[in-house]
């Protein structure tokens, strides 16, 4: 699949997920406290797949085209973030791909939990790449089911009962289109496995 076709199909996935979020937000009402400038969920490294990485890189290309100074600031934050995390990074320091062995996965659970996302503008508390953000960011806030059960942002749904939370559950990708596109993104990038945001943003070309 060409990069342009992958990008088009990813945009379709984004529309599906964003639509699911909007519906969950409607059902959640005042329990959902997500607002511009609320950036608690932007602190701490988390794993992203190669489709997320491709979307972020496209977002950086777009940002550089219309706001090169902001893009340069994002890249500098990303480079500094990589430097600060280098000694503890549980992955390949050249590619940014996380190791998948049990010990590395356990190390990642406590890795860089206080590190701000490189895309976060520290002055405004807003994401510089909001339209290109990873899926983890796109579904955070409303109730989303995982192998650990139904999870919500700790700031949201204060005072809601379990049944009320369950009634607002977000179902973002019922046909699992993401899994198919992740495989295509890995093939296109000639790289598999997960990484973190900083490694996607620090350099113009993949490293």
Distance CA 29, CA 7 (A): 32
pLDDT score of 104 more than 50: yes
Per-residue model confidence (pLDDT) at position 147: 82
Per-residue model confidence (pLDDT) at position 207: 42
Distance CA 10, CA 149 (A): 27
Q: Where are the chain's structural domains?
A: 3-201
What does the longest C-alpha to C-alpha distance in the chain come to?
Answer: 48
Q: Which residues contact 78 (CB under 8 A, 6 or more apart)?
A: 118, 197, 198, 199, 200, 201, 202
pLDDT tens digits for range 34-89: 988 899 999 999 999 999 999 999 999 999 999 999 999 999 999 999 999 999 99
Six-digit token string for 148: 């650990």
* Confidence category of residue 206, pLDDT binned at 50, 70, 90: very low
* Confidence category of residue 205, pLDDT binned at 50, 70, 90: low
């Amino acid at each position: 699949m060409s990069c342009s076709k992958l990008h088009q199909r990813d945009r379709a996935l984004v529309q599906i997920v964003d639509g699911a979020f909007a519906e969950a937000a409607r059902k959640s009402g005042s329990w959902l406290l997500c607002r511009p400038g609320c950036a608690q969920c932007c602190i701490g490294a988390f794993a992203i797949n190669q489709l997320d990485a491709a979307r972020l890189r496209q977002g950086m290309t777009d940002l550089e085209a219309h706001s090169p100074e902001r893009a340069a600031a994002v890249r500098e934050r990303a480079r500094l973030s990589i430097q600060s995390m280098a000694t503890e990074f549980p992955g390949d320091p050249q590619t940014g791909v996380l190791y998948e062995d049990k010990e590395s996965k356990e190390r990642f659970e406590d890795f860089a939990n206080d590190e701000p996302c490189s895309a976060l503008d520290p002055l405004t508390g807003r994401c510089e790449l909001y339209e290109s953000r990873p899926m983890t960011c796109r579904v955070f806030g409303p109730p989303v089911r995982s192998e650990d059960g139904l999870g919500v942002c700790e700031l949201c749904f204060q005072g809601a009962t379990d049944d009320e939370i369950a009634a607002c559950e977000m179902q973002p990708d019922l046909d699992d289109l993401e899994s198919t596109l992740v495989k295509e993104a890995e093939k296109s990038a000639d790289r598999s496995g997960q990484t973190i945001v900083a490694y996607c943003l620090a350099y113009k070309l993949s490293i």
